Amino acid sequence: MYEGGKQSGGGGVGIRFKERDFFNAGKIRVIPDVGNNRNNAVPSSTNVSNDEMVNSKPSVDLQHEMIMENRLMMANLAVIEFLASLFLVFSTIYVPDSDSDILKQYVSSAAIIAVMVGFKDRRYFFPDGTIMVTAVLVCSGVYNAPNGFHVAEISMRLVGQIAGFLVIFFGVAYVNPYMFKYGAVKFEYVSSSGSVMAINEINRAYCELVGTFVEGIVVSFAVVPLIKPDPQRSIAFIVKPEALPPKIKDLWYAAFCVGLVHYVLERVFRVTMNPFITIMHAWLENNPLAYFRLLGQFAGLIFACLYCYYFRPTPSVYKVLYSG
């Protein structure tokens, strides 16, 4: 923040620039509610009565501007979700340069951190990236609206996520199956004698249930504290479409937390926790039984959504989170 000095011989003149002012520059203009502010003085040069002010409506040009602004926002959400989904799905079929490539195990987790830190929409918020994250955040109240949910925003996010998966699946994996077959996450253990020991598919489904449940809760409780309101507003809970951009340090903390949990779950439980990735891996492995994992993911997502819905932080906790 820059603050100008006082002028000599007169009153102080201050110049202030806040980061919030910059990020709010692109928001839709709000028309004052004159019906709730009738004490405002009307200039003497006008003959507009209070009744005429109350019954006045936005001009056609302003309505058109608001509609175009909203459409632009929805298009932006679809595009950024498309890119994030494409990036995350592609990272799970990473092909190492050699068998001794030690970075392979970190790629999918690093991709999550990269998406949260580096990908931004015009609100300067990171995308959800997967339908699992969007579902959990919906149940956490992040996309609440006065009369329900922000259906248009949720829909555009899902459209972008599905489109990103389809591009990678049909445009890359489907036409190059043998190239990516050995780059997918393995659910096998090769002993020193060369024998292969695979995990039973029922156990894999159970692992997907546990992994999806745990990661869903972690995502919710890592993202919600990042959604903070304008300090001038008195509100018990703020939703994502109305939130200020998160602080960089808070964003890094949340991204590292989610990435670390994902790495542990992926390595310990050998799970993907993403139906798009599971479908692609099942096809690459030519394993029809692998689709049992989808049932585990669905059950885990249901439990995670119920947990996030019924065990939301209390208003006093939100007050502490938003004051930071």
Q: How many CA atoms lie within 13 A of 132 on its CB side?
A: 30
Q: Identify the pLDDT of residue 37.
A: 45
d(CA 153, CA 142): 11
Cβ-based burial of 96 (10 A; exposed 0-12, middle 13-18, buried ≥19)? middle
d(CA 64, CA 61): 5
Q: Identify the pLDDT of residue 189.
A: 65
d(CA 45, CA 64): 29
3 bridge partner residues: 16
3-state secondary structure of 54: helix
Q: How many CA atoms lie within 13 A of 109 on its CB side?
A: 18
d(CA 64, CA 76): 18
Domains of the chain in sequence order? 60-323 (1.20.1080.10)
Q: Supply the pTM of this predicted model.
A: 0.77
Where do the DSSP E strands lie in the chain?
144-145, 148-149, 188-190, 196-198
Q: Identify the pLDDT of residue 300.
A: 98
Average pLDDT per 10 consecutive residues for the chain, totaling 324 residues: 45 46 44 44 46 58 86 95 96 77 87 96 94 96 90 96 97 88 63 70 92 97 87 68 90 96 92 92 84 94 97 83 70
d(CA 278, CA 294): 7
> Would you list the DSSP string of 157-169?
HHHHHHHHHHHHI
d(CA 37, CA 15): 29
Q: Identify the pLDDT of residue 233.
A: 59
Contact between residue 280 and residue 168 where contact means Cβ atoms under 8 Å apart:
yes
- Residue located via tokens 């669905």: 298
Q: Identify the pLDDT of residue 211.
A: 96
